Amino acid sequence: MYNPNSLHAEEFINHAEIMDTLEYARTRKNDTTLLSEILAKARLHKGLSHREVAVLLLNEDPAVTEQLYKLANQIKLAYYGNRIVIFAPLYLSNYCVNGCTYCPYHAKNKHISRKKLTQEDIVREVTALQDMGHKRLAIEAGEDPLHNPISYILECIDTIYHIRHKNGAIRRVNVNIAATTEEEYHMLKEAGIGTYILFQETYHKESYEKLHPTGPKHNYDYHTEAMDRAMAGGIDDVGLGVLFGLENYPYELVGLLMHAEHLEAVHGVGPHTISVPRIKPAEDINPDDFDNGISDDVFAKICALIRVAVPYTGMIISTRESQAVRERVLPLGISQISGGSRTSVGGYDVPEAADDNSAQFDVSDRRTLDEVVRWLMELDYIPSFCTACYREGRTGDRFMSFCKSGQILNYCHPNALMTLQEYLEDYAAPETKRIGQALIARQIRQIPNPARREKAEAYLKEIAAGMRDFRF
Ligand code: SAM
């Protein structure tokens, strides 16, 4: 039976409830009274339930979609402003014992070059990432208890946090590794990680089991209950995601929102982020083998619906998507993007390695980080390298109440400008620097609190004079 408060996967992601929800939405998708009520509720910026979102998802009236997009943009601006947080993935190891049919790391793939970074390799990779200007990483690894045990992941995190190169430092390490035990999540927490990210891939249990035929990841319940163990282990910030293309998208979106509702109900805090990956070509993987690919239009609508449903949750889009698609969904609620990414193991230090076949998927947006930063600023977004919330202990419910109270303009906005200034001073191409300084001069005036504004102006001068501050 459906129960969002339960700790059992089949009760909080309940198949019957998803099917009922989709039937409810199918029969009411053109009910104009209901649609107006749902949109009116969405305008309060307090979120929507999975049932309400399903009705909007199945409705096909362009006028409703237009209202939805407007609303998604308003909510994004209200809570996240025009800041876009920048990160890069760092692939540690592609050894994997699982059999995921969509992933080139699957154990039976004998063509892929298997690689695992040594600590010396990590120093080289992270130095290259710091030279690009990155401050925030998401580390990624296949699941392999022999090659990638938790001790290896912890050692890598420790190495990464200790690398200081010129003015560079990685200030936040997010972790995307396979579902594990509460004890190991606690170790990750102690190691100072930011967000623990784990994509559900699909919420449809039967499909999940077929798509993960072998290996520990085959266990749907263990995978689906991972975020509860992570939170019990002390990790405040968790990141959800569906790999769109594996199953039908209405089922997935409803499942994803039920998962968010469950975390909020049980732990008092919803997901810190939601990622929206779509399946991409990779070594041994042809996305056309999966029947549920979604168009760019549906993708945009899903992004807008997530923004409206969970206004305080960050939304991440990776370089799996092209520049054009990223540009389309930025105003619909995206708050974090990756830039200059390499999905191969060792791809930053030796860019040729990016062309070898150790990569996880083909990157569609192949621009450098500097090009991404400049593009964002030309679109009037503020690229942010800020990690201050995490450094100040504003995680989990503390971050959420900060976000809900609208304090972001007085804190996140100036902090973002500081970190952009650092980037411009240390890494930017001359034209990027010129555009960035003009942007900062315009944006600094928008800090509402005069004392915060003056402080920010003073800091900006200090950064230009060479000061670097690890508070951000
Ligand atoms: N091994 C960990 C796990 O099982 O969660 C880390 C996952 S992997 C490094 C990160 C994510 O990439 C996966 O969760 C999956 O959603 C995504 N992925 C795998 N194959 C992909 C493909 N062909 N195209 C796009 N994304 C893919």
Q: What is the pLDDT of residues 266-281, one digit of tens each?
A: 999 999 999 999 999 8
**So what's the pLDDT on residue 436?**
98
d(CA 48, CA 308): 7
Q: Identify the bridge partners of residue 139 per DSSP, sorted by sequence position.
A: 90, 175
How far is Cα 126 from Cα 217, in angstroms, rounded to an integer?
29
Length of the chain: 472
Distance, in Å, from the CA atom of 311 to the CA atom of 47, rounded to the nearest integer, reads: 6
- Interhelix angle 50-58/249-267, rounded to 10 degrees, is 160
261 in contact with ligand 1, CB cutoff 6 A: no
pLDDT at 412: 84
| pLDDT-based confidence at residue 469 (cuts at 50, 70, 90) | low
Residue nearest to atom 20 of ligand 1 (CA): 103
Task: Encode burial over 307-316: b for 16+ CB neighbours within 10 A, e otherwise.
Answer: bbbbbbbbbb
Mean predicted lDDT score pLDDT of the chain: 94
Which of 167-203 are b and which e, b meaning 16 or more Cβ less than 10 Å from the residue's Cβ? ebbbbbbbbbbbbbeeebbbbbbebebbbbbbbbbbb
Q: Is the CB of 320 under 6 A from ligand 1?
A: yes
Which pLDDT value is given to residue 355? 55
Structure confidence at residue 354 (pLDDT): 52
Helices and strands (DSSP H and E) totals, the chain: 20, 9
Is the full-model pTM beyond 0.85?
yes
Residue whose CA is at the smallest distance from ligand 1 atom 16: 243
In the reported structure, the alpha carbon of residue 182 is separated from the centroid of ligand 1 by a whole-number distance in angstroms of: 22
Residue ID of nearest Cα to ligand 1 atom 6: 177
Q: CB of 246 closer than 6 A to ligand 1?
A: no
Q: Are 214 and 98 in contact (CB under 8 A)?
A: yes
DSSP 8-state secondary structure symbol assigned to residue 11: H
pLDDT band at 353 (very low <50, low <70, confident <90, very high): low
Atom of ligand 1 nearest to the CA of 199: 14
Report the pLDDT value the prediction gives residue 425, as an integer from 0 to 100: 96
Whole-number Å distance between alpha carbons of 124 and 163: 10
CA of 279 to the centre of ligand 1 (A): 9
Helix then strand then coil, % of the chain, to nearest 5: 50, 10, 40
Q: What is the pLDDT of residue 358?
A: 73
How far, in Å, is the centroid of ligand 1 from the Cα of 62? Answer: 33
Name the helix (H) or strand (E) containing 139: strand 136-141
Give the pair of three-digit tokens for residue 134. 């990155």
Residue of minimum CA distance from atom 3 in ligand 1: 178
Q: Which residues, including other chains, have CB under 8 Å from residue 305's CB and lie 6 or more apart?
A: 53, 56, 57, 68, 72, 253
The closest alpha carbon to 259, from 279, 277, 282, 275, belongs to 275
Ligand 1 neighbourhood includes 277 CB (under 6 angstroms) = yes
Residue range 161-170: average pLDDT? 94
Taking residues 89-109, what's their average pLDDT? 97
Question: In this predicted model, what pLDDT tens digit does every residue of 439-463 receive, in sequence order?
Answer: 999 999 888 888 888 988 998 998 9
The Cα–Cα gap between 422 and 435 comes to 14
Please answer whether residues 79 and 307 qualify as being in contact, where contact means their C-beta atoms are separated by less than 8 angstroms.
no
Per-residue pLDDT reduced to its tens digit, 431-443? 999 999 999 999 9
Per-residue model confidence (pLDDT) at position 201 = 98
Q: Cβ distance 104 to 95 under 8 Å?
A: no
Residue 154 identity: L
The mean per-residue pLDDT over the stretch 349-369 comes to 77
Q: How far is CA 372 from the centre of its chain?
A: 17
**Is the dihedral angle over the CA atoms 182, 187, 190, 193 positive or is it negative?**
negative
Which one, of 90, 151, 86, 168, lies nearest residue 125 by Cα?
Answer: 90
Whole-number Å distance, alpha carbon 98 to ligand 1 midpoint, is 11
